[in-house]
């Protein structure tokens, strides 16, 4: 995003003048290239869509911007339409490598988000999965990720495969960052009526409020 630095400076000035909009104010976000962004192309990693810009942001991208987050970049994925050489590559972007070991895979289709976060390009990112495409790169890149219940997060403006199983979700370096992002993007969206399933099932307080920093103190993990 060529405007990322200008956006950051404007958000810094706003924070000094009136305080933060949310915990995500001024935080850089990377996006799997299935989420529409009006200022950057959305390609799905597919060569024929190279350079194609949507007319508006995906719902959850718009919510992140409204919360003060900076859309830093779109990242690689496994495209659905070509024949990439490995599971973490696209015909447009090529192979995604694992920053911890370049000869190892960084996971399945949300591999670009996982690798980008592992390389500390951003604080949080968005992934999506039909099967386990958030959970695998989260594991392979030593991150925290949430494959949300179908219907919790809007898919309006997101490329996806089938209505009952496709879901988006946050990926991050900590549980707090994950929960703070979920607070912004979760909930009903009239542009994706599948999210009506979330009505009456979300907590009355923020997801962040359930975090106990000492929750694992004294625990034995094997």
Residue 28 token pair: 């850089």
Q: Which residues pair with 124 in a beta bridge?
A: 29, 172
State how far the alpha carbon of 124 is from the alpha carbons of 138, 176, 211, in Å: 12, 11, 17
Residues that are catalytic: 32, 109, 133
Beta-carbon count within 10 A of 102 CB: 9
Listed as ranges, residues in the chain with pLDDT below 50 are: none
In three-state form (DSSP H/G/I as H, E/B as E, the rest C), the secondary structure along 125-176 is EEEEECCCCCHHHHHHCCCEECCCCCCCECCCCECCCCCCCCEEEEEECCHH
Question: For 155-210, what is each residue's pLDDT tens digit?
Answer: 999 998 888 888 999 999 999 999 999 999 999 999 999 999 999 999 999 999 99
Beta-carbon count within 10 A of 113 CB: 38
- Three-state DSSP at 216 gives coil
- The H-assigned helical ranges of 21-165 are 59-66, 111-118, 135-140
Handedness of CA 140, 146, 149, 150 (dihedral sign): negative
Report the distance separating Cα 187 and Cα 81, nearest Å: 30
pLDDT score, position 76: 94
Closest C-alpha among 158, 157, 101, 102 to residue 134: 158
pLDDT score, position 166: 87
pTM: 0.94
């Amino acid at each position: 995003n060529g405007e990322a630095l200008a956006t950051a400076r404007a958000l810094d000035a706003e924070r000094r003048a009136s305080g933060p909009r949310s915990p995500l104010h001024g935080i850089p976000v990377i996006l799997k290239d299935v989420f529409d962004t009006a200022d950057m192309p959305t390609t799905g990693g597919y060569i024929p869509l190279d350079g194609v810009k949507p007319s508006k942001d995906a719902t959850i991208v718009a919510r992140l911007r409204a919360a003060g987050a900076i859309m830093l970049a779109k990242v690689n994925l496994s495209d659905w339409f070509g024949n990439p050489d490995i599971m973490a590559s696209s015909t447009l972007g090529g192979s995604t490598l694992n920053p911890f070991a370049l000869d190892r895979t960084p996971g399945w289709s949300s591999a670009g988000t996982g690798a980008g976060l592992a390389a500390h390009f951003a604080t949080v990112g968005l992934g999506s999965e039909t099967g386990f495409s958030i959970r695998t790169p989260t594991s392979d890149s030593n991150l925290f990720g949430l494959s949300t219940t179908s219907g919790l997060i809007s898919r309006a403006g997101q490329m996806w495969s089938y209505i009952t199983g496709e879901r988006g979700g946050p990926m991050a370096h900590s549980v707090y960052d994950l929960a703070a992002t979920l607070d912004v993007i979760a909930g009903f969206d009239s542009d994706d009526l599948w999210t009506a399933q979330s009505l009456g099932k979300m907590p009355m307080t923020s997801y962040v409020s359930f975090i106990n920093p000492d929750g694992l103190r004294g625990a034995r993990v094997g």
